[in-house]
Amino acid sequence: MAEAPYMKWLPEAALKTIGRLEFLAHGTVDGFISGKHRSARKGSSVEFAEHRQYVAGDDLRNLDWKLVARRQRFYIKQYVDETNLRATVVLDVSGSMAYRGESAANGLSKLDYARHLAASISYLLVTQQDAVGFVTYDTAVRSFMPAKSQPAQVRNILETIDAVRPGDETEMADVLHEIAERIPRRSVVFIVSDFYSPCAELLKALHHLRFRNHEVIAIQTIAAEERTFPFEQMKRFENLESPQAFDVDTRAIRREYLENYNRHQAELKRGCGEMHVTLETVETSVPFDRALADIFVRYHQRGGGR
């Protein structure tokens, strides 16, 4: 039987690495008090969310006996606050993410690399029985999937990821302000982007997420060439967010480019540090599964996994 096209974003080789990972939130999140993550709520909500299949150790009082009788299988009633953690994965699909560096692993563009990261994070969290939502954006939110923990959520996210195409210019700050208001409970927000937006406005939007008590993990995805600007001759550059192209003497602009790039990075790093936003910069030259494993190792070392 042919494998579904969307499964290419979770290649079998990478699943071996992802399967060994675990994510434990540093901060307090909204969830079930007996879960892996510290919760802001105690007890169970009366708001029914969905059914899931029974697994050993589940409270038998939550079995839906009517459904058991119909389907001859054990199903648990899951309530809104009975998820270990609520997370939202936010994926930048703007035109700049279409850049494909010459050193990229497997020739991946930044967007394809980011799609692999988003798919891997979503898969990992759902296998932990955490609830995951998914958002894509460029100039505006293009898709918004509320957080769920059922296994079908992974397929829904992968199908959305597979359908993504590079979009227009990014309006990252406006989008993050909107997301901050639309996510209903304190949770973990993973943002996968190149973060090429004016820093002042971007940091205000990240502060909005923190003000709403969300823990924010910013994964900046770049090509190595964007950091080093190794070009030594006339080169044609295309604006990936508009139909423009320029012939540039790279030697003449190299110094100014690197000064602007390093200034942006320093300001972004400083602002994230002051707000306790986790910022990780990964290059597409590093296999994405190894990059994700390293991100989680550093995250847990900084916060002890709690």
Q: What is the CATH number of the domain that holds 218?
A: 3.40.50.410
The pLDDT assigned to 50 comes to: 63
Confidence (pTM): 0.80
Residue 55 lies inside a defined structural domain of this protein: yes
The pLDDT assigned to 52 comes to: 66
Residue 32 lies inside a defined structural domain of this protein: no
Residue 181 lies inside a defined structural domain of this protein: yes
Looking at this protein, which amino acid is placed at residue 305? G
Distance between CA atoms of 266 and 125, rounded to whole angstroms? Answer: 31
| Shared-domain flag, residues 221 and 74 | no
Q: Which domain holds residue 54?
A: 48-79
Give, rounded to a whole angstrom, the gap between the first and last alpha carbons of the chain: 42
Structure tokens at 220: 């900046």
Instruction: Report the number of distinct structural domains present in the chain.
Output: 2
The pLDDT assigned to 169 comes to: 79
| Shared-domain flag, residues 71 and 206 | no
pLDDT per residue rounded down to tens, the chain (306 residues): 457 888 999 999 899 898 889 888 876 555 433 345 544 443 444 455 566 676 665 666 777 777 777 777 776 766 544 456 899 999 999 988 998 888 887 889 999 999 999 999 999 999 998 999 999 999 999 999 999 988 899 999 999 999 999 887 778 999 999 999 999 878 999 999 999 999 999 999 999 999 999 999 999 999 999 999 887 765 555 555 555 666 665 777 788 889 999 999 999 999 999 999 999 999 999 999 999 999 999 998 887 433
